[in-house]
Amino acid sequence: MKNKFNLSAPDFLSRIRNRLKLRSQFIIFLLIQSGIILGVSGIYVDWQVRKAVEDELGQKLLVIGHVAAEQIKNTRALQLVPGEENSRTLQGMHNRFAPVLSSQIIARILLLDSNRACYFDSDRQIPIGVEYYRARLDAQEIDSAFAGQPSTSRFFFDQNNKPFKSVYIPVEIDQQKNAAVLCLEASAGGLAAIYTMRKVLLTIGILAIIGAVLSAGIIARQVTRPLENLEKAAEAVGRGKFDTPLEQTGSSEIVFLAQTIEEMRQAIDDRQQRQQMMLAGVAHEVRNPLGGIKLFASVLQKTANEELQPHIVKITKEVNHLNEIITDFLSYAKPVQANPEMVNINQVVAEIHAVLETQNRGLRWDLQIADDLTVFIDPGHIRQILSNLLQNAVLAVRESENPIVAILGEKKRNHAQLIISDNGPGVASEVRDKIFQPFFTTRNEGTGLGLALARLLAEENNSLLALQQSESGAKFRLIVPIFEVENK
């Protein structure tokens, strides 16, 4: 069987199950189980009670029916013909059945021939010789009665929706056995108790299901909470956060799993700390000789002749470039910990713009940022992200005839959107998927860590940084939350 997703039923159920949390699956399972048990139990109880009421009423009707049959043995009932509805014979039958009808059990008595035509109707609704059409539904019971076997019908409902039950008794009249069938209809008042019981059972079932849901929620919470803690710990380790010890609670299996993850976390944390120490040591050992080279280059610049000056300038430039690489590398490699707060984007952009505008005369800026646009992010991180993006944009438009760098900032429902664009050469399609990779750059003097660090900082603050399609130049889109969100 296929559905609108073109999946088989097992695959479709598997996909739904995989999308539900374990706690939800546990609650749904207990709810379905409780519903099935209560439903089957209620149906069984209702069937048993209904059967008991029906059997008891049937036995009473059989007893009363035999008594009523004795009352008309010596009557001329078989000789009644149409038009004799007011005859003494018919009136006598009414008098004979009066005690039976006054018992408040029997609601109606009819005397029928083999063709279901009526000889007698206690309600005086069916004339003599006219077929009792409802008896067609009980043809099998009537045939059994004419064969000498009394029988009872199933419950039926009248036009007022009241339940009734009939009994068919073979009658001997004028010494003719099974000459006619006596039909007694009784109101099944006992069914009212069944309907009341159904309402009680339904109420009990609803309360039981509510109780089952609450119980399942409590049990599921106790069972799944340790697993959820493990899930969050695993996500934290996957994001590179190794500073929070893992809580080890739950069953022995969960505790064992938690201990294993905790050992892994500690091992990774120790390794990362050793790497940080090694990187810091390497950076220190590299920067010391670089500092010496730069110092001697500056001294040499003062005494060297004009022919050597370009070479000294190149040495100084390369030393500065190496220092920039080391700084960016350490910034990217060290652990990132966000401390978000509400930050005014206009203020941050204004400060970065002031610095870059001074350094880049002749560059036109197009700043369109909504007033009082505030976001929930680490102040240092958003400054670093925007600074890296804007510096890249400035460098990209150096060769443009009319260089423009634009920033569009606006509020979008539950987040802020910042678009940083330029009219430079843009990003080639073959490298679009690589620009956020560490150490990837298309500039000779670039470190290849600016965009990688910007995306890393954005992700740490529950934000999104991506390259957008653009007809000309490069366009970057930064999505930042405008209120506190759960760290994912």
Annotated domain spans of the chain: 71-188, 252-333, 341-481
Q: 252-333, which class in CATH?
A: mainly alpha
Residue 269: per-residue pLDDT: 72
Residues 6+ apart with CB under 8 A from 23: 217, 220, 221, 223, 224, 228
* Residue 245 · residue 262 · CB < 8 Å: yes
Helix (H) or strand (E) holding 118: strand 118-121
* Residue 344 · residue 374 · CB < 8 Å: yes
Pick the CATH number of 341-481 from 3.40.50.2020, 2.40.10.340, 3.30.565.10, 3.30.1600.10: 3.30.565.10
Residue 54: per-residue pLDDT: 75
Helix (H) or strand (E) holding 113: none
CA dist 100 → 42, 55, 67, 93 (Å)? 36, 20, 9, 11
Cα angle at 252 between 251 and 256, to 5 degrees?
120
Residue 446: per-residue pLDDT: 65
Residue 480: per-residue pLDDT: 93
Residue 46: per-residue pLDDT: 75
Task: Locate 77 and state its tokens.
Answer: 């009932």
Residue 451: per-residue pLDDT: 87
Taking the whole predicted model, whether its pTM rises above 0.95 is answered as: no
Residues of the chain under the 70 pLDDT cut? 1-23, 156-161, 188-195, 238-244, 246, 250-251, 272-273, 275-276, 278-284, 328-336, 444-447, 484-488
- CA 102 and chain centroid, separation: 62
Task: Locate 241 and state its tokens.
Answer: 């956060």
* Residue 224 · residue 23 · CB < 8 Å: yes
Helix (H) or strand (E) holding 478: strand 475-481
Task: Locate 442 and state its tokens.
Answer: 């298309």
Looking at CATH, the fold of the domain delimited by 71-188 is given as Beta-Lactamase (3.30.450)
